[in-house]
Structure 1
Amino acid sequence: MPEIKKYLSIVALGANRDKLARDLVGAIGRRGCEISECRITPLGDHFSASMLLCGNWSAMGKMESALPGLAEHLGLSVQFQHSRPAEPQSDFRPYAAEVVAPQQPRLLAELLDFFTDQGTSVIEVSCQAYDSGLTGAAMCTMHMAVHVPTNHHPQTLRDAFMDVCDDLHADGLLDPIKT
C-alpha cells in the first residue's frame, strides 16, 4: 500500500541574515519533510519564505511540533496550516502578464480588477518599485501568472489588456507561458 503524503503550508518572515534560507531548509529536511513548492525572497530588509511541505504523517507531526521552537531559534515569525497540493486545471491556459509603469498607488488593484472582470485567475504576482536610472522617475514592474479559460479568445483578451495598460500609462505584454 503506498504511503499517503500529508501537506503543510508555512509562511515565515523575519529580519534577513546570512544563511537563513539554508538554515530553514536544512531544518525542514532533518525532520523528514520534502519541499514541494517554495518561494524565498527578501522584502525590504526582511527575509520571507512561503513553502508547501510534504511527507508522511510522522514527518509532518515532527515538523509541526518543531515549528514554534525553530521559529524562535531562527528569529522568524512562522504561520502554518495543513494543506493539499493544487488541483490541476486543464480548462485553463497559463499566460504571463508583464507591466512596466510609473509608480501609482492603485496600479496593482487596477490590474487585478481587470483580470477578475475578464474571468481569468491571477495565480502569482511579483512587484518591484524602483527609481529609473536614466530619469530618476518612480517606476514599478509587475509580473503575473494568469490562468485564462480555454474558451477565451486570446487576441481579444490581449487587446483589452493593452487598452488597460494605455489607460494606466503602462507598457504591457501578455503572452502564453511555454513550459
Structure 2
Amino acid sequence: MPEIKKYLSLVALGTARERLAHDLIGAVARRGCAVEECRITPLGDHFSAVMLLAGNWSAMGKMASALPGLAETLGLSIQFEHTEPGVPAPDYRPYAAEVVGPQQPRTLGELVAFFSEQDVLIHELSVQAYDAGMTGAAMCTVHMSLRVPINQHPQTLRDAFMDICDDLNADGLLDPIKT
C-alpha cells in the first residue's frame, strides 16, 4: 500500500545572513521531509522563504515539533500550518501578465482590481521596484501568473488589459503560458 503524503506550508522571515537558506533546507531534509515548492527571496535586508513540505505523517510530526526550536536557532520567525496539495483548475487557462511602468502607489492595486473584476484568478504575483539605469526614474515591474476562465474571450481580455496599462502609463504583456 502506498504511503500517504502529508503537507506542511511554512513561511520564514528573519535578518539575512550567509548560509541561512542552506541551514533551513538542511533542517527540513534531516527530518525526512521533501521540499515540493519553495520561494526564497530577500526583502530589504531580510531573508524570506515560503515553502511547501511533504512527507509521511511521522516526518511531518517531527518537522512541526522541531519548528519552534529551529526558528530560535536560525533567528527566524516561522509560521506553519498543515495543508493539502493544490487542486487543478480545469475551467481555467494559464496566462502570464507582465507590466513595466512608473513606480506609483496605485499600480498594483489597480491591476489586482482589474483582474478580480474580470473573474481572473491571480495564482502568483511578484513586484520589483527599481531606478531606471538611463534616467534614474522610479520604475516597477509586476509579474503575474493567472488563471483565466475558459469562457473569457482572450482578445477582449487583452484589449481591456492594454487599456488599463495605458491608464497607468505602463507597458504590458498578456500571453498564454504554454505548458
TMscore range, shorter length:
over 0.9
* Percent of paired sites with the same residue: 73
Cα distance in structure 2, aligned partners of 1:111 and 1:78? 30
* Partner-residue secondary structure (3-state), 1:3: coil
Corresponding residue for residue 3 of structure 2: 3
CA distance in structure 1 between the aligned counterparts of 2:177 and 2:19, rounded to whole angstroms? 32
C-alpha displacement of 1:2: 1.4
Deviation at 1:4, TM superposition (A): 1.0
* Partner of residue 120, structure 1: 120
Normalising by structure 1, report the TM-score: 0.99
Residues 17-59 of structure 1 show CA distances to partners (whole Å, capped at 9, x for unaligned) of 1111111001000000011111111111110000010101100
Q: Give the length in aligned residue pairs.
A: 179
Query: Is the partner of 1:119 in helix, strand or coil?
Result: coil
1:75 counterpart = 2:75: yes
What letter is aligned with 1:10? L
* Matched residue, 2:27: 27
**Cα deviation, residue 91, structure 1:** 1.2
CA-based RMSD of the aligned residues comes to 0.6
Q: Partner of 1:59: helix, strand, or coil?
A: helix
- TM-score w.r.t. the length of structure 2 is 0.99
The corresponding residue for 2:86 is 86
Task: List runs of 5+ in structure 1 lacking aligned partners.
Answer: none
Whether 1:62 and 2:62 are equivalent positions in the alignment is yes
Matched, 1:42 2:55: no
In the TM superposition, what whole-angstrom CA distance separates every residue of 1:77-134 from its partner, at most 9, and x where no partner exists?
0000010110011111110100001001111010000000001001111100001111
Runs of 4+ in 1 over 3 A off after TM superposition: none
Name the CA distance, whole Å, in 2 between partners of 1:8 and 1:75.
20
SS of 1:125 mapped into structure 2? strand
The unaligned stretches of length 5 or more in structure 2 are none
Give the corresponding residue for 2:100. Answer: 100
